[in-house]
Chain A
Amino acid sequence: GENVGLHLPTLSVQEGDNSIINCAYSNSASDYFIWYKQESGKGPQFIIDIRSNMDKRQGQRVTVLLNKTVKHLSLQIAATQPGDSAVYFCAETLQGGSEKLVFGKGTKLTVNP
C-alpha cells in the first residue's frame, strides 16, 4: 500500500499497512509546511508540520519528510487504521507572515478492513 514519488488523487490500503501520501509544492521560498486531514463533512484538521530547516519530523504514527531540492513533501502513516480514511492535503506558507496557505490537490485515502 505504498506509493512514492507521484501525487495520486486516491490511495487504497489495507488496515495495518503503512501509507505514504505525496505532495509537490510550488514555491521554493515557502518555509513552513503542514499536512491536514479532512473527513467527510468536516473542515481540515492539523496533523503535523515541518519547517524548511528540517527534512524529517515524527509524530504519533505519522512522519513528514521534506525534500527541498525537488520541492516534495510526503506523509507516512504507520499501521493505517480505518479511522485514517479521509482526504489529506499538504499546505505551504511563509511562516510568520500570514495565514495564507497554499494547498495541494489532496489525496483521498481509503483504508480497507
Chain B
Amino acid sequence: KAGVTQTPRYLIKTRGQQVTLSCSPISGHRSVSWYQQTPGQGLQFLFEYFSETQRNKGNFPGRFSGRQFSNSRSEMNVSTLELGDSALYLCASSFQPGNTGELFFGEGSRLTVL
C-alpha cells in the first residue's frame, strides 16, 4: 500500500509569507504527527492529531498550527515565516496513538525561507 505522502516536496518562501504543508497518511491510519528537522536542533515534535483533534503539541510558537480532516489527512501551517523556519517538515502516521512502533514517516517537505 502507498506510504505517507507529503506535498509539496520542496518549496521556497520569503520572510513574512505563510506556508501550508499537506500530509496524506497510510490508508487506514488515523493518527498523524508532525516533526521539524533542522541541522542545529535535529528532529523536534510539532503536533499530533487523532480523529481531527490535536492530542499533543510541541514547544513551538503560535505561528505553527495544524489540523486534521475527517479522512485523516492533515495540514500544517506556518505564518509570518522567519529564516529559522527553514527545515525539513516530516509527517508520520500510525493506526492509532501509542502505536509508536508502527509509526511511518513520509519523505518530508523541505521549506527554504529567504
Listed in ascending order, the chain A residues whose CB lies under 8 Å from chain B are 32, 34, 36, 41-46, 49, 89, 91, 93, 95-106
Contacts and interface: CB of A to CB of B under 8 A. Distances in A.
Interface of A, secondary structure class, is loop
A45 B92 CA distance: 10
Chain B residues touching A, majority SS: strand
Nearest to B39: A106
A95 B105 contact: no
A99 B107 contact: no
B33 interface: yes
A95 B97 CA distance: 9
Interface of B: 4, 31, 33, 35, 42-45, 48, 55-56, 58, 90, 92, 94, 97-98, 100-108
A43 B4 contact: yes
A99 B108 contact: no
A104 B42 CA distance: 8
Contacts of A89: 42-43
Contacts of B35: 101, 103
Contacts of A49: 100-101
A4 to B, nearest CB: 22
